[in-house]
Structure 1
Amino acid sequence: MADEFVWEPSEYHETESNLAQFIDEYDYDGADDLIPETEADLARFWGAAAEDTGVVWREDYDAVVDTSDGVEFADWYTGGRLNAVETILDQWVERTPDRAVYVWEDENGREATVTYADLAARTNRLANAMRDHGVERGDVVGVTFPMHPDGFAACLAALRIGAAFTMVFPGYGADAMGLRLDDAGAELVVAADGYVRGGETVDLLAKLDDAVAGAESVTDIVVRDHVGLDTPVSDATTHDWAGFVDGYGTDAETAVMDSGDPSFLAYSSGTTGAPKGTIHTHASLLVMGNKEVRYHFNLDEGDTLAWVTDFGWIIVPVWMLAGAPALGATTLLLEGAPDHPSGDRVWRAIEEHEVTAFGISPSGARGLRQSNETPSEDYDLSSLRAIGSTGEPWDEDGWQWFFEEVGGGEVPVINASGGTELAGAILVPTPLTPLKPATLAGPAPGVAANIYDENGEPANEGYLVIEQPIPGMTNSLTAGDERYLDEYWREFEGVWNQNDWAERDADGCWYITGRADDTMNVAGRRVTAPEIEEVIAGHPAVEEASVVPVPHDVKGEVPVAFVTRLDGGDGGGGGEGGESDDELAESVRERVATDLGAPYRPAAVHVVPALPRTQTGKIPRGVIEAVYRGQPAGNVSTLSDAHALEEFPQREK
């Protein structure tokens, strides 16, 4: 962890940022006291946030939060009546109908601008057609799309008529896709026919054909002609989007919902077990999304957000369907691969569209860095007021590059850590937070976070927990209350724990070092896999590394590393650099022993051609560990490079 702060809030941030104005407007004592003040009175903060971010109510709520059924089942904004579409869309159709809500571009240079009025017309025609086709209040509509405005219109149409939606990542395998649709009980699915990524056309309908065979709930699919495919789906009735909405008007009745009625279901990635179906409400969708985009990314009406991600991940509904549109901002949708047809695609888009807030995962940033080491010298990125990241821990060098070469060393890195289950962040900086490289700063305003050791005592290293509920918490799972309580509440009674491992340094800066499962106990000494990986990644011949724990008769656990070479080696002999795989392995082991200490020297280092990844770019340590130990790897259909596992060795018995 770094010793020095490298960014301090400017006078602008301290006086003119949205959060600074909120502190002044709602009589908080100041930036230094905001976190403890909000922890002391969560209801005050979340009531003020709902008001300040412009949530539109049909009937005002009676109480901000009701925990009479226990903190595990907190009820937020009780008695309130609303529909999220009226905040996200309708208020801006009245105020700024011709402002762009989405600007879309694909890999081939095609672009389209969709105004708030345009989106309302698409949403309402589809809502009317859905209602006439039998979709009712309380149903769930499946939506699977590339990053295209019509995918968002489909979600809003479901909300308009009182149904919920579930976004399904189009890159999933058929089994993973079918499991989610069936678990959600989706009868109607709205889908693109296909999409282009990395120059290759993907037939989404062919995947849906296989998925629907395992999803008994699905009876109908509405297909948007996006890339000109016409693949039949055997076990469902297909409708052409244009024909489905033909004859329907652009005005639609809005279902008035209770604050706690479901708005969307979101599923965990499922790379370490059965995916969990989390349930989020109309109120939580708005308050979490609006609060995070407004106060952390400092987005205002008329600004532009761009985030490199894929349809189906939690950022998309919370920040890109709600958040930015609900604040009257524009969202740039970059469909396809961020580095195709060239590695400068993202930087050109930021310059062209004058993006205000930009985000990407640390892995994604490292990929773009390989194509352009100095983007701020080659493109005008001066429109940026905040840059962000989420999804995995940063390494210090990567964070420093992002800060200096993308943000010009002048804007904060809003590095967030939360979860699908929370529809938002636990730890995340604000524009009023001094920053060290790779830090998450600390708890977000309105989040009573802490770090516990194994005994449930506060500590500076251990489990990241939340001691009081927040609006974004799912208050059950589709699998039922018992699994929900087992997953999050029973490790430490009455305290939320989602199994993330955190550290806090002497200056009070917080860091996520990985999942608690990634923390290993080597002869009584704790170390996290990312700590070892960062040391290994500094080796001049190593491109990437993944470290997993392996049981040991004497030490309890020992680390084992899997590395790929920078010099093009294939894992079987030597690379172009002249060092054999065996020599590289020994060099890596000694580097870890020197930098971290001899106890953490990997028991083995295996040079492999490639590391598997999830579709969001994460390396699934749990899958790697299972393969190495000769155990079932589980569902690997969510991995983009599952074939890489075929080259992995197994541990000798």
Structure 2
Amino acid sequence: MSYPFQIKTYEEYQRAYKRSVDDPEGFWADVASSFSWRKRWNKVLDWNFKEPHVEWFSGSKLNITENCLDRHLLNLGNKPAIIWEPNDPEEHHRVLTYRNLYDKVCQFSHVLKNNGVKKGDRVCIYMGMIPELAIAVLACARIGAIHSVIFGGFSAQSIADRLQDAKAEYIVTCDGAFRGAKDIPLKNVIDDALIACPFVKRVIVCTRTRTPVSMIKGRDVWWEDEIKKVETLGLNHFEAEEMDAEDELFILYTSGSTGKPKGVVHTCGGYMVFTAYSFVNVFQYTPGDVHFCTADIGWITGHSYILYGPLASGATTLMFEGVPTWPDAGRLWQIVDKYKVNVLYTAPTAIRSLMGFGLEPFEGTDLSSLKVLGTVGEPINEEAWHWYDEHVGKKRCPIVDTWWQTETGGILISNMAGVTPAKPAHATLPLPGVQPILVDENGVEVTGNPAAGNLCIKAPWPSIIRTTYGDHERCRQTYFSTYENLYFTGDGALRDADGNYRITGRVDDVLNVSGHRIGTAEVENAINMHAGVVESAVVGYPHDIKGQGIYAYVICQDMHTDESHMRLDILQTVSRIIGPIAKPDKIQFVSGLPKTRSGKIMRRILRKIAEGEKNNLGDTTTLLDPSVVEEIAEGKL
């Protein structure tokens, strides 16, 4: 398989970028022509950022799974589509060829249909990283149902919130999941969530851990039993549902600066085109290469660069059930060696964690198959970049430092491996079709180089967020109202003399913890649910492994409470309401919070204290009670 849109030289990049800005419709029409469409578009692009309203390839008809599966069967049918490495290295791995994957997706499409799922229905998927997760996602897309994958670390309350928001009547889950040394009881968590969701009609349960589970008659069915029914009837093919390019493909929930998670909506046509385009170009994918993205499919990285981008490109993608440090810190290197991985795409958090184990875990592994390294989820610091370059890439593998978001659907700013220049800790240059701009607090463009400002994008790319599910106004307010006619990323950035971008982190009330975005308001709401808490304020602070840690300032009803016991209670409460990923790293008990006379908490001051800047707190005279600040600074953990 060849890619007519693959950029091979820096000069080709410059030409492609210029054309994508001068003639975006012509540029993206040419890229889109490489895919299978049942009906071509009437118009390539229709947009305004005021409403916001964006349509790509309007009037066209397709099914994304025909591009991910059907069109590869003739030439790539026997080629591995998904290689699955289990959590336990002693367990046998699985390889699904494109033909195997196609057959299994068709089978499960029949299962979904037999259980009442139809086009437009929302299906919540809460599973471990097993091939059946990929099969379930693709089967939803094949029948035109909207999938909403929820990461296996979220709590029952978080799942219930998402089910209620999406009005999802169908769930696909597992009895449990393996993740490192842990067994996660997924079905039990779903059962707890469903107490608040009586509208759910069907729960399909796949066997993985053989954890004892409760199966409710009339609601719960076993995946394996449902597959047997389809096999008995000899149903192999499932005709893919015809979808409009702008029909919803999936909802993925992300944290925001308010407490309620928001459902980011991506649609079929533009998302497919951009994920495949960015996958091939950023990683410089060559047919036959093994691409290993270590993310979970519960996050956007897994959607775009384990499943849709690679499969739409006819690639071989590796799914890993476990974690990089179990049963030992050599696990990733053993996987690279075992499958002769060519592209490794992981998070700076994982790299920093593995750095702490030294070089011993590399012993006995051969990493010579690696051609490209990548990082995702947060800015990578220079020390980690150089360690990755030297010890994993042996200074011969370009590192692509990719910047993007759940809302962007695909990579927006990154060097292209070996094609455009890399610079340690810099995302570098935008992809063709992506027009970044730096603005000051008033929305005035910061021109010239070098420069610093808030990062915005001034024109749409094909996989841009279309709406937040069920609440378009929230989409407008969050991304398009801060600066007129611009998409606001929520990140700050620097631009060097050569035009390379370096992302400096969030400028809104969202934390980036181990590459996962967590809203401060969401954590505060969870802490405040504890019966003994009066009020709390949450900020981020630099963390050696996670990038950002969570620092909570908490006022208790009883100021003489046992602090160590109270800390454990609060951590348990946050785990119960959101999930373990949102647990604060530090909890400082305080008698008051720095507030303006209007009652607004000055998180800027709390952030500086958490970062250790006690002597540079700025003007505190406007506070209702400035003495609170001294007390908090004295008690810093």
Q: TM-score, normalised by structure 2?
A: 0.79
1:169 matched to 2:151: yes
Q: In the alignment, which of 182, 195, 201 is matched to residue 183 of structure 2?
A: 201
1:75-86 mapped onto 2 (5 Å cutoff):
75-86=55-66
Q: In the alignment, which of 308, 330, 333 is matched to residue 344 of structure 1?
A: 330
* SS of structure 2 residue aligned to 1:446: coil
State the shift of 1:377 in Å.
6.9
1:640 matched to 2:620: no
Please give the alpha-carbon distance, in whole angstroms, between the structure 1 residues aligned to 2:376 and 2:584.
25
1:292-441 mapped onto 2 (5 Å cutoff):
292-373=278-359, 378-431=364-417, 432-441=419-428
The alpha-carbon distance between structure 1 residues 495 and 68, as it changes in their structure 2 partners (threshold 3 A), is closer
Please give the alpha-carbon distance, in whole angstroms, between the structure 1 residues aligned to 2:349 and 2:444.
33
State the shift of 1:474 in Å.
1.5
Please give the alpha-carbon distance, in whole angstroms, between the structure 1 residues aligned to 2:309 and 2:189.
31
* SS of structure 2 residue aligned to 1:175: helix
State the shift of 1:372 in Å.
3.9
Please give the alpha-carbon distance, in whole angstroms, between the structure 2 residues aligned to 1:462 and 1:246.
58
What's the counterpart of residue 64 of structure 1? 44
The alpha-carbon distance between structure 1 residues 318 and 642, as it changes in their structure 2 partners (threshold 3 A), is closer
State the shift of 1:619 in Å.
3.5
* SS of structure 2 residue aligned to 1:273: coil
State the shift of 1:89 in Å.
0.9
What's the counterpart of residue 567 of structure 1? none
1:486-635 mapped onto 2 (5 Å cutoff):
486-517=477-508, 619=548, 621=550, 624-625=551-552, 627=554
Q: In the alignment, which of 440, 456, 461 is matched to residue 470 of structure 1?
A: 461
Q: In the alignment, which of 92, 106, 125 is matched to residue 72 of structure 2?
A: 92
* SS of structure 1 residue aligned to 2:138: helix
State the shift of 1:281 in Å.
1.0
Please give the alpha-carbon distance, in whole angstroms, between the structure 1 residues aligned to 2:291 and 2:21.
29
1:136-285 mapped onto 2 (5 Å cutoff):
136-232=118-214, 237-248=219-230, 249-269=235-255, 273-285=259-271
Structure 1 unmatched ranges of 5 or more:
1-16, 520-527, 531-558, 565-610
The alpha-carbon distance between structure 1 residues 272 and 402, as it changes in their structure 2 partners (threshold 3 A), is farther
- Of all paired residues, the percent bearing the same amino acid is 29
What's the counterpart of residue 572 of structure 1? none
* SS of structure 2 residue aligned to 1:438: coil
* SS of structure 1 residue aligned to 2:374: strand
The alpha-carbon distance between structure 1 residues 443 and 238, as it changes in their structure 2 partners (threshold 3 A), is same
State the shift of 1:488 in Å.
0.7
Kindly indicate whether the alpha-carbon contact (under 8 Å) linking 2:83 and 2:96 is maintained by their aligned counterparts in 1: yes
* SS of structure 1 residue aligned to 2:411: strand
Please give the alpha-carbon distance, in whole angstroms, between the structure 1 residues aligned to 2:258 and 2:392.
33
Please give the alpha-carbon distance, in whole angstroms, between the structure 2 residues aligned to 1:167 and 1:458.
37
Cα deviation code 1:344-365 (max 9, x no counterpart): 1100111111112111110111
Kindly indicate whether the alpha-carbon contact (under 8 Å) linking 1:146 and 1:336 is maintained by their aligned counterparts in 2: no
Please give the alpha-carbon distance, in whole angstroms, between the structure 1 residues aligned to 2:509 and 2:46.
36
Kindly indicate whether the alpha-carbon contact (under 8 Å) linking 1:76 and 1:471 is maintained by their aligned counterparts in 2: yes
Amino acid at match of 2:423: K
Please give the alpha-carbon distance, in whole angstroms, between the structure 1 residues aligned to 2:442 and 2:162.
36
Please give the alpha-carbon distance, in whole angstroms, between the structure 2 residues aligned to 1:73 and 1:20.
27
The alpha-carbon distance between structure 1 residues 448 and 31, as it changes in their structure 2 partners (threshold 3 A), is same
CA RMSD of aligned residues (A): 3.1
Identify the range of structure 1 (212-221 vs 482-491) with the bigger mean alpha-carbon deviation: 212-221
Please give the alpha-carbon distance, in whole angstroms, between the structure 1 residues aligned to 2:350 and 2:60.
40
The alpha-carbon distance between structure 1 residues 378 and 440, as it changes in their structure 2 partners (threshold 3 A), is farther
Amino acid at match of 2:246: G
Kindly indicate whether the alpha-carbon contact (under 8 Å) linking 1:271 and 1:638 is maintained by their aligned counterparts in 2: no
Cα deviation code 1:212-249 (max 9, x no counterpart): 12234422110000111231156981100111222321
* SS of structure 2 residue aligned to 1:371: coil
* SS of structure 2 residue aligned to 1:414: strand
Kindly indicate whether the alpha-carbon contact (under 8 Å) linking 1:72 and 1:494 is maintained by their aligned counterparts in 2: no
1:450 matched to 2:437: yes
Kindly indicate whether the alpha-carbon contact (under 8 Å) linking 1:362 and 1:390 is maintained by their aligned counterparts in 2: yes
Identify the range of structure 1 (68-77 vs 192-201) with the bigger mean alpha-carbon deviation: 68-77
* SS of structure 1 residue aligned to 2:437: strand
Structure 2 unmatched ranges of 5 or more:
514-537, 558-569, 591-628, 633-637
How many positions carry a matched residue from both structures? 544
Kindly indicate whether the alpha-carbon contact (under 8 Å) linking 2:427 and 2:502 is maintained by their aligned counterparts in 1: yes
What's the counterpart of residue 35 of structure 2? 55
Cα deviation code 1:581-636 (max 9, x no counterpart): xxxxxxxxxxxxxxxxxxxxxxxxxxxxxx9x9xxx56354xx2554999x99966
* SS of structure 2 residue aligned to 1:103: strand
* SS of structure 2 residue aligned to 1:418: coil
Please give the alpha-carbon distance, in whole angstroms, between the structure 1 residues aligned to 2:136 and 2:57.
26
What's the counterpart of residue 81 of structure 2? 101
Kindly indicate whether the alpha-carbon contact (under 8 Å) linking 2:512 and 2:547 is maintained by their aligned counterparts in 1: no
* SS of structure 2 residue aligned to 1:424: coil
Please give the alpha-carbon distance, in whole angstroms, between the structure 1 residues aligned to 2:83 and 2:29.
32
Cα deviation code 1:271-328 (max 9, x no counterpart): 8632110111111331121011100011133221111112310011112221111111
State the shift of 1:189 in Å.
0.7
1:289 matched to 2:275: yes
Please give the alpha-carbon distance, in whole angstroms, between the structure 2 residues aligned to 1:235 and 1:488.
44
Cα deviation code 1:184-232 (max 9, x no counterpart): 2211111111111221211111111111122344221100001112311
Kindly indicate whether the alpha-carbon contact (under 8 Å) linking 1:308 and 1:334 is maintained by their aligned counterparts in 2: yes
What's the counterpart of residue 615 of structure 2? none
